[in-house]
C-alpha cells in the first residue's frame, strides 16, 4: 500500500456528489480506467489495493462500521462476474452513444456510473464486508484477466509457522498461501507486512 492510499477515498465522494453539479468531474473516471489498464498487464490488480479511490473509501471509511462478515464465494465466480462486466460495459456504451458527443452529458454519465456503483459498494460494504464490491467489480475482473499471474505473493513454506495472520488481514479474504486463489490479490501488502517470519514476498 502507498502512503497516499488511505487518503484517496475522498476522490470518489467528490466525483459522486460534486459531479452532479460539475459533470466535468466525471472525466476523472477516464483517468482511472486508463491508469488501471496501463498497470494491470504488469501488476494485476495492484491498482485496486493502492490507487483505487473506491477501494480506499471501502477500506478506510466503510471498514470502520462494516459488519465484516464472510464474502459469499459465489460473488467471485465468473458466472456472476462476466455478466455484470458485460452488462455494465454495454449499458455505459449505449448511454455514451446517446450523448451525441456533448461534453457535459458524457461527464454526467461517468458521474452517475460512479455514484451508482459507489452506492452499491457502500451498501454491500456495510452489510457484508468492505471489499465485497471488489470481488465482482467490472474493473477488477478486467484486471484479473489482463494481469494473469503477475506480481503474486509467494510463500516460503519453510519459514511459515501456520499462524494464519496473513489470512486474517487479507481484505479480499483470500487463502493467502495458496497461489491458485490469488489472481484477485489487490497487492495491498498487508499479508507481507504482518507475517512474523517474513515468509511472504511479492514476485513477478
Ligand atoms: S503470517 Fe506468515 S507465518 Fe503466519 S501463516 Fe501467514 S505466511 Fe505463515
Ligand atoms: S493476498 Fe496479501 S497482498 Fe493480496 S490482497 Fe490479500 S493481504 Fe493484500
Residues 161 and 123 in one domain: no
Q: Note the pLDDT of residue 164.
A: 95
**Pairwise CA distance, residues 129 & 71, whole Å:** 6
Q: Note the pLDDT of residue 181.
A: 67
User: Is 45 within 8 Å of 185 (Cβ atoms)?
Assistant: yes
| Confidence band, pLDDT 50/70/90 cuts, at residue 100 | confident
Residues 81 and 101 in one domain: yes
Question: Of 116, 6, 118, whose CA–CA distance to 51 is shortest?
Answer: 6
Query: Which grid cell sits at 2?
Result: 502507498
Q: Note the pLDDT of residue 101.
A: 82
Q: Note the pLDDT of residue 180.
A: 65
Q: Note the pLDDT of residue 108.
A: 95
Ligand 2 closest atom vs CA 182: 1
Residues 67 and 166 in one domain: no
Residues 105 and 132 in one domain: yes
Ligand 2 closest atom vs CA 189: 3
Residues 82 and 161 in one domain: no
Residue range 152-171: mean pLDDT, rounded:
95
Q: What is the pLDDT of residues 127-150, one digit of tens each?
A: 999 999 999 999 999 999 999 888
Residues 22 and 103 in one domain: yes
Q: Calculate how far, in angstroms, residue 122's C-alpha sits from the geometric centre of ligand 2.
A: 21
Residue where one domain finishes, among candidates 132, 147, 162: 147
Residues 49 and 17 in one domain: yes
Residues 122 and 157 in one domain: no
Residue where one domain finishes, among candidates 99, 123, 147: 147
Assess whether the C-beta atom of 164 lies below 6 angstroms from ligand 1: yes
* Longest Cα separation, the chain: 60
Domain that holds residue 97: 5-147
Residue range 155-160: mean pLDDT, rounded:
94
Q: Note the pLDDT of residue 56.
A: 97
Residue range 13-27: mean pLDDT, rounded:
96
Q: Calculate how far, in angstroms, residue 43's C-alpha sits from the geometric centre of ligand 2.
A: 13
Residues 143 and 182 in one domain: no
Assess whether the C-beta atom of 174 lies below 6 angstroms from ligand 1: no
How many Cα atoms occupy the beta-carbon half-sphere of 142 within 13 Å? Answer: 18
Is pLDDT above 90 for 25? yes
Residues 9 and 99 in one domain: yes
Q: Calculate how far, in angstroms, residue 123's C-alpha sits from the geometric centre of ligand 2.
A: 23
Q: Note the pLDDT of residue 91.
A: 93
Residue where one domain finishes, among candidates 131, 147, 163: 147
Residue range 143-161: mean pLDDT, rounded:
93
Q: Note the pLDDT of residue 152.
A: 92
Residues 138 and 194 in one domain: no
Q: What is the pLDDT of residues 31-86, one digit of tens each?
A: 999 999 999 999 999 999 999 999 999 999 999 999 999 999 999 999 999 999 99
Q: What is the pLDDT of residues 166-192, one digit of tens each?
A: 999 999 999 999 876 688 999 999 999
Which ipTM value was assigned to this complex?
0.87
**Pairwise CA distance, residues 18 & 2, whole Å:** 26
Q: Which residue has the cell 452513444?
A: 97
Q: Which domain CATH number covers 172?
A: 3.30.70.20
Residues 169 and 95 in one domain: no
Assess whether the C-beta atom of 134 lies below 6 angstroms from ligand 2: no
**Pairwise CA distance, residues 196 & 163, whole Å:** 9
Number of domains in the chain: 2
Amino acid at each position: 500500500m502507498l502512503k497516499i492510499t488511505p487518503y484517496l477515498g475522498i476522490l470518489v465522494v467528490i466525483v459522486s456528489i460534486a459531479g452532479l453539479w460539475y459533470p466535468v468531474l466525471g472525466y476523472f473516471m477516464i483517468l482511472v480506467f486508463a491508469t488501471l489498464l496501463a498497470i494491470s498487464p504488469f501488476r494485476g490488480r495492484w491498482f485496486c489495493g493502492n490507487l483505487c479511490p473506491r477501494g480506499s473509501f471501502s477500506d478506510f471509511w466503510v471498514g470502520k462500521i462494516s459488519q465484516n462478515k464472510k464474502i459469499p464465494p459465489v460473488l467471485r465466480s465468473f458466472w456472476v462476474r462476466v455478466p455484470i462486466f458485460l452488462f455494465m460495459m454495454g449499458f455505459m456504451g449505449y448511454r455514451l452513444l446517446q450523448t451525441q458527443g456533448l461534453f457535459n452529458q458524457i461527464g454526467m454519465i461517468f458521474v452517475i456510473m460512479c455514484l451508482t456503483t459507489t452506492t452499491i459498494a457502500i451498501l454491500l460494504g456495510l452489510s457484508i464486508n468492505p471489499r465485497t464490491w471488489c470481488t465482482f467489480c467490472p474493473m477488477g475482473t478486467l484486471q484479473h484477466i489482463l494481469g494473469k499471474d503477475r506480481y503474486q505473493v509467494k510463500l516460503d513454506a519453510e519459514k511459515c509457522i501456520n499462524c494464519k495472520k496473513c489470512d486474517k488481514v487479507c481484505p479480499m479474504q483470500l487463502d493467502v498461501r495458496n497461489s491458485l486463489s490469488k489472481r484477485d490479490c489487490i497487492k495491498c501488502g498487508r499479508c507481507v507486512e504482518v507475517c512474523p517470519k517474513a515468509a511472504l514476498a511479492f514476485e513477478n
